[in-house]
Amino acid sequence: MGALRRFWARSLINKAIVILVVIFCCCPLPFVGRGGNRAAQTGAAASTAAAEAPRSTEAATEAPAAPTAAPEATETPEGYISRAELGEDWPLTVDDGVLKCDDASRVTFTTGGVIYAVNGTAAGFADRFGWKSINDLSVPDPNYAGLIKDMRPLINRGLALCK
């Protein structure tokens, strides 16, 4: 206990270090992205969308398939979230997706077959699991130049799914 008191009393720098460690380890910071360049991040999202576009017109010229039985109604997957639910608070460029959370509180968002790390815990494992950064889909915050919209609605909803 005495060593901790001496450490804390020594300098303002020690206090600042402790506070920063607590903040960065315990609080998700959705506006801190990998790469840091906002233009590059939005360009990456645009190039991803372009890559998903059809590359040929063969599909358009083929004859339509014969009608089949009506598809069965599909259930909405657990964790489904959309722009319609959050309205103005929706922080992404896509309209919907599925949030998931594993036992380790890693929140992910899946859309278009791509998995994105939503919270800081998931971002720490993104390279290991091949997840992309949610910042690739983020929308700039209209109130704060240079920052993205608040991801807390997604993070909180995802953490509620943790089992």
- At residue 23, φ and ψ (nearest 5 deg) are -65, -50
Contacting residues for 132 by C-beta, under 8 A, at least 6 apart: 114, 115, 116, 117, 126
36 vs 149: which has the higher pLDDT: 149
Q: Give the pLDDT band of residue 100 (cuts 50, 70, 90).
A: very high
What's the average model confidence in pLDDT over 141-148? 91
pLDDT of residue 154: 93
pLDDT at 103: 81
Phi, psi of 116 (to 5 degrees): -120, 140
Which distant-in-sequence residues (6+ apart) come within 8 Å of 74 by Cβ?
A: none
Report the SS3 class of residue 71: coil
Query: CA nearest 137: which of 48, 35, 32, 77?
Result: 48
pLDDT of residue 51: 42
Tens-digit pLDDT profile for residues 54-78: 444 444 444 444 445 545 557 888 9
Amino acid identity of residue 102, one-letter, is: D
Most confident of 18-32, 73-87, 119-133: 119-133
Rounded CA separation 130/155 (Å): 19
> Within 13 Å and on the Cβ side, how many CA atoms surround 156?
6
How does pLDDT run across 7-50, given as a tens digit for each residue? 656 666 666 665 655 455 555 544 444 444 333 334 444 444 44
Q: Are 99 and 109 in contact (CB under 8 A)?
A: yes
- The confidence score (pLDDT) of residue 163 equals 74
